[in-house]
Structure 1
Amino acid sequence: MRYLVLNRTPLTGRRFPDWLGAAHEVILLTDAAAVSSDPDVRSAQLAGYAHVEIMEDFHFNPLVEARAVALHQKWDFDRVLALSEFDILRAARLRELFAVPGQDVASATAFRDKLEMKRLLERAQVPLAPYASVANLADLLGFIDQEGYPVVVKPRWGGGSIDVHVLHDQQDTEELLATHRSLGTDDGAQLLAEKYIEHELIHIDGIVVAGETLLMWPSTHGDTTCLDFKEGGALQSSLLDPADPLLVPVRDLTRQALAALPTPDTCMFHAEVFLDANGRLVFNEIASRMGGGMIEHVLRQSFGVTLPEVYVRAHSSDELPQIPATPVRIAGWSLFPPRAGTVTEIPTECPVPGTTQYRRHVEPGTVLSRAQTSVDKIGSVLAVGDTRTEVETALGEALVWFQSSTVIQPEAQGSE
């Protein structure tokens, strides 16, 4: 079989030819930013492909799809694979053009367009926060008048908590208007408003292969949220213990959501559920792709599998690795976001017991601005333990250590 792979993430660790097997031809269409500038690393990354094309401008560029069409005329693809959130719909459009199996446009839209997703979930009586489409100021003011502040406003097609705003008052609303001029156009904005819920955020990650759920396990962000990065706060997550009373109801709610949507027979998924102040579970959203942050690393530590590899192998009918029913150990991660200034000191090794991996993502001398997405980071740490409590203790100690060991010199007042 011939596979077209659309890729925009670093290719190290993404061995598509190995995952699909030597009996298949793999053609790679990749973002240039995903390929190393080091000749030796680059050579290793691109080995094994029948053909490679590298494009400088990959994000939302219709020329990427045009090149895919041209390649299909030569190679006659049997499958199209894509792992990134922002290639889900692109890949679906190409599958329909090429008349090959896989997630179609209707399914991809349901998982990408948060408004369409909410409508389908609502019809299936999945518990949701009140929501509304926002195309213009009248839509927004009408929703605020109905629900009151605070209100969350976010792109219908977004990801990574990019451009997500929590409006607490009229001043916040006016600031949103200043940055979203599309609210005043005839075409209107592609935004979604939701009633803000005080919550603990639980995310659920897993994979469905040939209609069978092989893995579904929840994690909690504890007292951190995906919006803490706006204030420079760390984002952390830890798997739930197998005996956690939330495990069964959270998984049941996720199954209900997957059943309500046109879920592909084979797909990874990343869902989010709110646990509100009254202990009620409220479904937020779900994506048909691998979760971000260090979720992939945590699942590897806890279940012994690399989820994207399982997903890709499932498309070539290779024998899949066995996934244990419960984690062999609990794992968690923490991301340390940037704040504006110049890095003067940042540690190279983490001495905190229980941590198994630490990385610094910037060097001394780097000039930083504040985080723009929930996964922007200057440092990250992975921790393992027998229980969630052990993991969260290690993550907490690692955060204190990192903050005390890292020095960021603020910009001088009045500087350009």
Structure 2
Amino acid sequence: MRYLVLNRTPLTGRPFPDWLGADHEVVLLTDAAAVSAEPDVRSAQLGGYAHVEVIDDFHFNPLVESRALALHRKGGFDRVIALSEFDILRAARLRELFGVPGQDVASATAFRDKLVMKRILAKAGIPLAPFAPVANLQDLLGFIEQQGFPVVVKPRRGGGSMDVHVLHDPQDVESLLAAHRDLGTDDGAQLLAEKYIEHELVHVDGIVTAGETRLMWPSTQGDSTCLDIKQGQALHSCLLDADDPLLDPVRELTGRALAALPVPDTFMFHAEVFLDADRRLVFNEVASRMGGGMIEHVLQLGFGITLPEVYVRSLGGNAPAAVPAVPERIAGLSLFPPRAGTLVAIPDTCPVPGIDTYTRHAAPGTVLEPARLSVEKIGSVLATGRTRGEVEMALAEALAWFERSTVIRPGTDGTGAGSAS
């Protein structure tokens, strides 16, 4: 079979030809930013493909689809593979143009467009926060009048908490209007408003192959949220223990939500569930792709599998690795975000017991800006232990160590007044 792979993430660790197997021909269209500038690394990343095209401005470039169609006319593709949130719809459109199986546009839209998704879930009786589309100021003011502050406003087809606003008062409304001039156009904005819920965020990650759920396991972000990292606060997450009382209710709700949506036969998923102040579960949303922010690495440590590999091998008709019913060990992560200023000092190694991996993502002298995405970081750790309690203790100690050891000073030259961390 002949596979087309659309890629925008670093290719190291994504050996698509190896995962699909030698019996298949693999063509790669990749973002130039995903390919190393080092000749030896670049050669290894691009080896094994029948054809490769490296494309600039991959996200906004319609030539990605144009080139894919031209290549299909020459040789014909049997399948299209895309792992990124922002290529889900693009890949679905190509499948329909090619006439090949896989996630179609209706399914991709239900996962990518939060308004479409929530309307489907609401009709199925899935508990949700009140929501409404927002195309203009009248829509927004009407929703606020009905629900009161605070209100969350987000892009209907966003990702990574980008451009998510929590409105607490009329001044925040004015700030939103300044950021979204499309609210004043005839075509209107593609936004969604939701009633804000105080919550603990539980995310659920897993995979379905040939209609069978192979993995569905929740993690909790505890007292951190995806929006906190944009305010300069660390984000952490940890797998639930096998005997956690939340485990079965969260999985049951996630299963009901997936059953209501037009799912493909084989797909990865990343769902979010709110545990509100009254300990009730409220479904937020679900994506048909791997969770971001190092969740993949947490699942590797906990279950001993690489979820994208299981997914791609399954699409190639190859037997993927067995997935344990429960984690072999509990694993978690913590992301340390940037704050405005110049990075003066950042440690190279982490001495905290229980930390499996520490990674420095920025070098001294780097001029930093506040995070725009929930996955932006200057440092990160992965921790393992026998229980969630052990892992969360290691993550807390690592955060305290990182804040003591890292110096960010205001300004762009590193000489301004400021304190460590």
> TM-score, with normalisation over the residues of structure 2?
0.98
Provide the residue aligned with 2:129 in structure 1.
129
Counterparts of 1:230 and 1:306 in 2: how far apart (Å)?
28
1:387 alignment counterpart? 387
1:325 deviation in Å? Answer: 0.2
Distance 1:272 1:142 in 2: 27
Q: Secondary structure of the residue that 2:343 maps to in structure 1? A: strand
SS at match of 2:203: strand
1:33-182 equivalent positions in 2, closer than 5 A = 33-182=33-182
What corresponds to 2:351 in structure 1?
A: 351
Q: Residues 120-151 of structure 1: CA distance to partner in whole angstroms, max 9, x if unpaired?
A: 00000000000000000000000000000000
What CA distance in whole angstroms lies between the structure 1 residues aligned with 2:174 and 2:313? 49
- Find the aligned partners of 2:182 and 2:258 in 1 and give their Cα distance: 32
Measured after TM superposition, the shift of residue 200 of structure 1 is 0.1
Cα distance between partner residues in 1 of 2:27 and 2:412: 50
Cα offsets for 1:167-186 (capped at 9, x unmatched): 00000011100110000000
The percentage of counterpart residues that share the same residue type is 75
Q: Which residue number in structure 2 is paired with residue 297 of structure 1?
A: 297
> 2:334, 2:381 within 8 Å by CA — same for their partners in 1?
yes
Task: Verify the 8 A CA contact 2:367 2:412 in the aligned structure 1.
Answer: no
Distance 1:98 1:253 in 2: 35
Deviation at 1:412, TM superposition (A): 7.4
* TM-aligned CA distance change 1:163 to 1:339, over 3 Å: same
SS at structure 2 position matched to 1:129: coil
Partner of 2:211: 211
Matches within 5 A, 1:300-319: 300-319=300-319
1:271 matches 2:278: no
AA in 2 matched with 1:343: L
Alignment partner, residue 233 of structure 1 = 233
Instruction: Give, in whole Å, the separation in 1 of the partners of 2:38 and 2:56.
Output: 17
The structural deviation recorded for 1:60 is 2.7
- Counterpart for residue 400 of structure 2: 400
Structure 2 residue identity aligned to 1:23: D
Q: 1:287 offset after TM fit, Å?
A: 0.1
Contact 2:343 2:408 in 1 (8 A): yes
Q: Could you report, residue by residue, the CA deviation over 1:267-293 in whole angstroms, capped at 9, with x for unpaired residues?
A: 000000000000000000000000001
User: Hey, what's the Cα distance between the residues in 1 that align with 2:178 and 2:365?
Assistant: 34
| Counterpart secondary structure, 2:318 | coil
2:2 alignment partner AA: R
Is the aligned partner of 1:260 residue 2:273?
A: no
Task: Give, in angstroms, the shift of residue 409 of structure 1.
Answer: 1.2
Give the 4+ runs in structure 1 shifted more than 3 A: none
Determine whether 1:364 maps to 2:372. Answer: no
RMSD: 1.0
SS at match of 1:289: coil
Distance 1:340 1:162 in 2: 18
The aligned amino acid for 1:288 is: S
Q: CA deviation at 1:253?
A: 0.2
Post-superposition shift, 1:383? Answer: 0.1
CA offsets 1:328-350 (integer angstroms, 9 cap, x no match): 00000000000011111100100
Distance in 2, Cα, partners of 1:287 & 1:239 = 19
1:182-193 equivalences in 2 (<5 Å): 182-193=182-193
The one-letter amino acid paired with 1:24 is: H
Alignment correspondent of 2:251: 251
Deviations 1:234-293 (A, max 9, x none): 010000000000000000000000000001110000000000000000000000000001
The one-letter amino acid paired with 1:159 is G
For 2:302 and 2:370, locate their aligned partners in 1 and report how far apart those are by CA, in whole Å. Answer: 32
**Number of paired residues?**
414
Unaligned runs of 5+ in 1: none
CA distance in 2 between counterparts of 1:164 and 1:61 reads 24
**Equivalent position of 2:419 in the other structure:** none
How far off its partner does 1:397 sit? 0.4
Shift of 1:307: 0.3
Question: Structure 1 counterpart of 2:60, which letter?
Answer: F
Structure 2 match to 1:377:
377
Q: What is the alpha-carbon distance in structure 2 between the residues aligned to residue 334 and residue 412 of structure 1?
A: 26
SS in 2 for 1:88: helix
1:230 Cα deviation after fit: 2.4
Q: CA deviation at 1:316?
A: 1.1
Between the aligned partners of 1:197 and 1:44, the Cα distance in structure 2 is 47
C-alpha distance in structure 1 between counterparts of 2:199 and 2:320, whole Å: 37
Q: Structure 2 CA distance, aligned partners of 1:412 and 1:171?
A: 30
Structure 2 CA distance, aligned partners of 1:268 and 1:363? Answer: 34
- Equivalent residue of 2:103, what SS? coil
Report the counterpart of residue 221 of structure 1 in structure 2. 221
- The amino acid across from 1:354 in the alignment is G
Q: Give, in whole Å, the separation in 2 of the partners of 1:339 and 1:392.
A: 24
Q: Distance in 2 between matches of 1:205 and 1:60?
A: 28
Shift of 1:362: 0.5
Q: State the distance in 2 between where 1:207 and 1:180 align.
A: 36
